[in-house]
Amino acid sequence: MQRITDRLINWASILDEGALAQARRTSELPFIHPHLALMPDAHLGKGATVGSVIPTLEAIIPAAVGVDIGCGMIAVRTQYDAADLPANRRPMREAVERAVPLSAGKYNRSITATAATRIAELERAASVAGFDPASYAANWREQLGSLGSGNHFIEVSLDERGRVWLFLHSGSRGVGNKIAQRHIRAAQEYARRTSVPLPDMDLAYLVEGTAEFDRYIAELRWAQRFALLNREEMMDRVAAAFADWVGGPVEERERINCHHNFTEKEHHFGRDVWLSRKGAIDASAGRPGLIPGSMGTASYVVEGLGNPLSLNSSPHGAGREYSRNAARRTFTRRQLNEAMHGIEWRHSDAFLDEIPQAYKDIDRVMADAADLVRVRHTLRQIINVKGD
């Protein structure tokens, strides 16, 4: 841990100057209390640094939550071991690809029975929140149970004892993105209207007690719930596909579902703050969490240590070192094939920007996080599913 200033504390041993400068700017906003915490996976983001924990007094920065509101991970430990699995893993991958819509702009053609109950919950929640999600995305119901693209994934993994885990990463999809974009614009309009000086317009904020603030919080919480239920819906489908593949039912021995792009009201250093974790998980003492590596590397099931200086937070993954364009210019398909050796995956050049070398070394990230979380399990993927 490195105390850069009184208002900026850093856990990242790998941190480029652009990300550091960005974090400094954010930490100097007058309503930060008591300091901004940079996680080991911190890297340059839009407005605020990805991998940062931002506590704010009576204000909130919509871009500090990000456009994928509620993005996070879910993992289920099954009763199966590696020895129980069929030798041919391709049918499982293809079954998941049929069961879950993949890639940007891909959604369900109809509403499944399992999704219907979750959609009904979200309809009630939207009514209570006083808004219509269809005003953002007419097909938001069909979006529930879809993965997306980029670094979102579905995996079958084995832990250190050879036990089988089902693991996936996704968020609030198109409807969450549109909700976020609308409120980022509202914050920027507020800044222009009130002549608020800002080092970056993507640090525009909303002030507690205003109608704009209240609307954002209501819709933010709805989108966070959508993201969590979206992961649950996909996990149910993945478990069903897995049951068909192994020829027996799935017994859930453990289930963990956690956000890493979200805001909650929390109490830190004597004050109630709006704590925005942009690429960070809640690592309160004893709280289970999930920290994925990149495509082809290890992921971790962890338990929070409740470090107060980190605002009870920890990293959410490996963190990019190369932009997507830079990764495509730097690395080759041969390197990607080598990194994915022994893993069942859909061989495609589309995933070159997700090559492990484009990310920080996950083991280095976890070493940096030694005072933030305790590792409970190390997972190694054997099947990987991604969207283009």
User: Which residue has better confidence, 384 or 294?
Assistant: 384
Query: What is the SS3 assignment for 9?
Result: strand
Q: What percent of the chain has pLDDT over 70?
A: 100
pLDDT of residue 46: 87
For residue 324, what pLDDT is reported?
A: 93
The one-letter amino acid code at 369 reads A
> What mean pLDDT is predicted for residues 243-264?
97
Please compute the mean of the pLDDT values over residues 284-292 and round it to a whole number. Answer: 98
Question: Region 91-119: what's the mean pLDDT?
Answer: 94
pLDDT at residue 318, as a whole number: 93
Annotation says 169 is catalytic: no
Considering the chain, what percentage of its residues have pLDDT values greater than 90? 95
Low-confidence winner among 137-141, 269-273, 349-353 (lowest mean pLDDT): 349-353
Catalytic residue among 260, 316, 341, 347: 316
pLDDT at 196 over 90: no
The dihedral sign for the CA sequence 363, 367, 372, 374: positive
What's the CATH superfamily of 2-386? tRNA-splicing ligase RtcB (3.90.1860.10)
CA gap 102, 172 in Å, rounded? 14
Evaluate if residue 155 carries a pLDDT over 90. Answer: yes
Check whether 76 has a pLDDT greater than 90.
yes
pLDDT of residue 292: 95
71 vs 261: CA distance, rounded Å: 5
Residue-range domain boundaries for the chain = 2-386
113-137 per-position pLDDT tens digit: 889 999 999 999 999 999 999 999 9
What mean pLDDT value characterizes the chain? Answer: 96
pLDDT tier at 112 (50, 70, 90 boundaries)? confident
User: Residue range 309-314: average pLDDT?
Assistant: 98
pTM of the model: 0.96
The DSSP code for 249 is P
CA distance 65 to 278: 5
Single-letter residue type at 301: V
